[in-house]
Amino acid sequence: MCFRIRSMHPLNSWQQLGFTAKVAEDELTSVLETMVHDNDVLKHDNAELQHLLAESREEIHSLQEELEEQRANPPLRISRSGGPLFFLLERCATNARY
């Protein structure tokens, strides 16, 4: 019975409340520190991804320009089937020998 009276004493209740508040504050501080750290990591990762995205966009742009050039100026294909281009090249080569 003496224990009950002591635990209901207002000073003891305030001490318990203070202890509980301190534990909650410590836990909250720990959670906030973790969140700040995670946020910093996310900022770093975001910056790296933005850089990679910019590089990828530049590469795509370069490849598109190269493709447009190739479509506008297709490479010459020499056919061994006896087409007109092959005939001209063969004639030039024959004339160069004599």
pLDDT digits (tens, 9 = 90+) for 40-88: 999 999 999 999 999 999 999 999 999 999 999 887 765 555 555 555 5
pTM above 0.75, yes or no: no
With cut-offs at 50, 70 and 90, classify the pLDDT of residue 16: confident
pLDDT band at 10 (very low <50, low <70, confident <90, very high): low
Average pLDDT of every residue of the chain: 79
* Domain assignment of residue 52, given as a range: 2-97
Q: Is pLDDT of 91 > 60?
A: no
The domain total for the chain is 1
- Contact yes or no for 48/55 (Cβ under 8 A): no
